[in-house]
Amino acid sequence: MKNLILIGFMGAGKTTIGKLLAKGKNMSFVDTDERIVLEQGRTIPDIFAEYGEPYFRDLETDLLRRMQEDTTDSVISVGGGMPVREENRALLRELGCVIYLSASKQTILERVRNDGSRPMLNGDDLEARVEQLMKARESLYRQAAHVDVRTDGRSIHQVMQILDQETRRFLKEKY
């Protein structure tokens, strides 16, 4: 399967970069969060509020299993928590080239500070919550990734150049 999968913390640039990457490589773009929202007929905050995080994580795993059968030649942007499950990390790696878009805590805070659509960031101390989640997820992202690309301090153009080089090499080696 020739898929490029973007993982990373919320606000790392997965959706923005993913859409541009898909266009540049003439591939389809899939956002797993958008697909879950469409299939469930409710927003992610509503799913979390009504059913809880474990239910949402089950939806992610189920989607990844289905994508093994029906998704190819796509750039896939996944939710920030999807790689937390060991099964999901394995499924992501089977699905294609996994690219970890990483960024510093400060960059993430600047990007998500006024975004109320992220249920994992609800609470009083946003900075402490981001730091806690980043520490918990960092090694898991690295376990899942074939490639790690830093997004902070770089323009979208610079990130795209790096991704073009890295994915070209991976696609030649793996496919």
pLDDT in tens, 67-108: 999 999 999 999 999 999 999 999 999 999 999 999 988 888
CA dist., res. 104 & res. 108, Å (int): 6
- pTM across the whole model: 0.88
Half-sphere exposure (CA, 13 Å, Cβ side) for 110?
Answer: 9
pLDDT for 68 equals 95
Q: What is the pLDDT of residues 141-163, one digit of tens each?
A: 999 999 999 998 898 899 999 99
pLDDT value for 175: 46
Residue 10 Cα distances to 6, 112, 115, 164, angstroms: 11, 7, 10, 22
- Domains annotated on the chain, with CATH: 4-174 (3.40.50.300)
